[in-house]
């Protein structure tokens, strides 16, 4: 009889003990989900006709006195009430006890919805991330709410990305410069380059007002002949930047070297581009050897 009672009471006692342990764990200062504090920054990594890829950095606070794991992060990205993209991170992130960590994850925006959202041409776009994640607290998993807002400076991000592509010759590739004419009345240098489209959206190179230096001496100024429109499905386009030389400054220094040594040129100016409805500009420079006439 005692053995029978023992067998009956043992499972019941185990259930009661487990209940109090879980209840104590749940109600204590431990066992609470982490808090997503804020979006630290959002960077545009690349874009094309379909999507704009982002790198999102978020600060997460672990309010527990033990390590926890966060995974399965997923959120819609909204502008006003319209969903224009998603953010996600499937990989597990471990948060140290009572610590704040910066976590980055992948996000993307629909390009066409994005263009519609920035039709008012504001430099910044107010975004809201609304979603959830899972926090593994050891004994059980808790849902984590995501509701964060961030003002993304679109113009600055696009400008930095395009400038980087220009620097690595992913957008503009120099072909060469030549001294087209040389005389007392007029001297002209033409620099030829190619413009290609790595984005799959229409954009325009509006100008390149710049100065030209020949053998380290300022020689004149110039610009591209005409604005260059690059269509989203178009092939690379040849373009020319034309420089009229200041003969008073230039002829004397060039007259001897034009027959005896190389003519090395350098241009420095500002590249003007319109893309995704934004007019951006940044410093641009290139150099090479002039082909003599």
**Cα separation, 88 vs 107, whole angstroms:** 6
Convert the pLDDT of each residue in 162-186 to its tens digit. Answer: 999 999 999 999 888 988 887 767 7
Answer whether residue 7 shows pLDDT above 80.
no
CB 112 within 8 A of CB 39: no
**Cα separation, 273 vs 111, whole angstroms:** 19
Q: Are residues 210 and 276 in the same domain?
A: yes
Residue 258 banded pLDDT, cuts 50, 70, 90: low
SS3 168: coil
Answer whether residue 118 shows pLDDT above 70.
yes
Q: Are residues 100 and 174 in the same domain?
A: no
Q: Are residues 138 and 177 in the same domain?
A: no
**Cα separation, 148 vs 135, whole angstroms:** 18
pLDDT for 29 = 44
Q: Does some domain include residue 14?
A: no
**Cα separation, 25 vs 37, whole angstroms:** 24
Q: Does some domain include residue 232?
A: yes
Answer whether residue 190 shows pLDDT above 60.
yes
- Determine the average pLDDT of the residues in 65-69: 93
Q: Are residues 50 and 90 in the same domain?
A: yes
Q: Does some domain include residue 129?
A: yes
pLDDT for 22 = 45
Q: Are residues 190 and 141 in the same domain?
A: no
SS3 3: helix
Q: Are residues 102 and 179 in the same domain?
A: no
> Could you tell me the residue range of the domain that residue 94 belongs to?
33-153
Mean pLDDT (the chain, rounded): 84
CATH number for the domain including 277?
A: 2.60.40.10
Name which of 174, 177, 181, 175 is nearest 250 in CA terms. Answer: 181
CB 158 within 8 A of CB 44: yes
Q: Does some domain include residue 158?
A: no
What is the DSSP track for 150-164? EEEEHHHHHHHHHHH
Domain boundary among 97, 127, 153: 153
Residue 248 or 21, more confident: 248
Answer whether residue 6 shows pLDDT above 90.
no
Domain boundary among 153, 184, 217: 153
Element (H, E) at 7: helix 2-27
Split into its structural domains, the chain has a count of: 2
CB 78 within 8 A of CB 150: no
Q: Are residues 71 and 179 in the same domain?
A: no
Q: Does some domain include residue 190?
A: yes
Q: Does some domain include residue 191?
A: yes
Q: Does some domain include residue 17?
A: no
Q: Report percent pLDDT > 70 for the chain.
A: 82
- Look at phi and psi of residue 31 and say left if phi exceeds 0, alpha if psi is from -120 to 50, else beta: left
pLDDT for 8 = 53
Q: Are residues 212 and 118 in the same domain?
A: no
SS3 293: coil
Query: How many angstroms from the chain centroid is the CA of residue 272?
Result: 19
- Determine the average pLDDT of the residues in 240-261: 71
Domain boundary among 153, 184, 210: 153
**Cα separation, 54 vs 293, whole angstroms:** 49
CB 75 within 8 A of CB 86: yes
Q: Are residues 144 and 186 in the same domain?
A: no
Q: Are residues 180 and 283 in the same domain?
A: yes
Q: Does some domain include residue 162?
A: no
SS3 of the chain: helix, strand, coil, percent, to 5: 20, 55, 25
SS3 81: coil
Convert the pLDDT of each residue in 10-65 to its tens digit. Answer: 555 455 444 444 443 444 444 899 999 999 999 999 998 899 999 999 999 999 99
Q: How many CB atoms lie within 10 A of CB 192?
A: 13
Answer whether residue 129 shows pLDDT above 80.
yes
Residue 252 banded pLDDT, cuts 50, 70, 90: low
pLDDT for 61 = 96
- Determine the average pLDDT of the residues in 148-165: 93
Q: Are residues 192 and 287 in the same domain?
A: yes
Q: Are residues 180 and 285 in the same domain?
A: yes
């Amino acid at each position: 009889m005692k053995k029978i009672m023992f067998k009956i009471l043992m499972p019941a006692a185990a259930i009661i003990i487990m209940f109090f342990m879980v209840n104590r764990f749940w109600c204590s200062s431990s066992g609470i989900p982490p808090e997503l504090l804020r979006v630290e920054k959002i960077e545009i990594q690349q874009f094309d006709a379909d999507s704009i890829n982002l790198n999102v950095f978020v600060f997460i606070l672990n309010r527990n006195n033990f390590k926890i794991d966060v995974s399965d992060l997923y959120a819609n990205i909204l502008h006003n009430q319209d969903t224009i993209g998603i953010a996600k991170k499937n990989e597990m992130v471990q948060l140290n006890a009572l610590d704040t960590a910066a976590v980055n994850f992948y996000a993307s925006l629909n390009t066409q919805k994005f263009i519609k959202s920035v039709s008012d041409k504001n430099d910044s776009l107010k975004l809201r991330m609304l979603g959830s994640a899972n926090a593994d607290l050891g004994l059980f998993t808790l849902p984590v709410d995501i509701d964060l807002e961030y003002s993304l400076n679109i113009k600055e991000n696009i400008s930095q990305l395009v400038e980087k592509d220009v620097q690595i010759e992913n957008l503009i590739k120099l072909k060469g410069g030549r001294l087209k004419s040389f005389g007392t009345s007029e001297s002209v240098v033409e620099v030829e380059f190619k413009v290609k489209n790595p984005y799959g959206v229409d954009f325009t190179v509006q100008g390149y007002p710049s100065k030209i230096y020949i053998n380290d001496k300022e020689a004149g100024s110039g610009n591209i002949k005409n604005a260059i429109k690059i269509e989203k499905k178009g092939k690379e386009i040849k373009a020319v930047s034309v420089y009229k030389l200041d003969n008073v400054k230039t002829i004397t220094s060039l007259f001897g070297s034009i027959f005896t040594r190389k003519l090395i040129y350098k241009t420095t100016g500002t590249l003007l581009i319109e893309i995704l409805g934004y007019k951006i500009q940044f410093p641009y420079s290139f150099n090479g050897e002039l082909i003599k006439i």
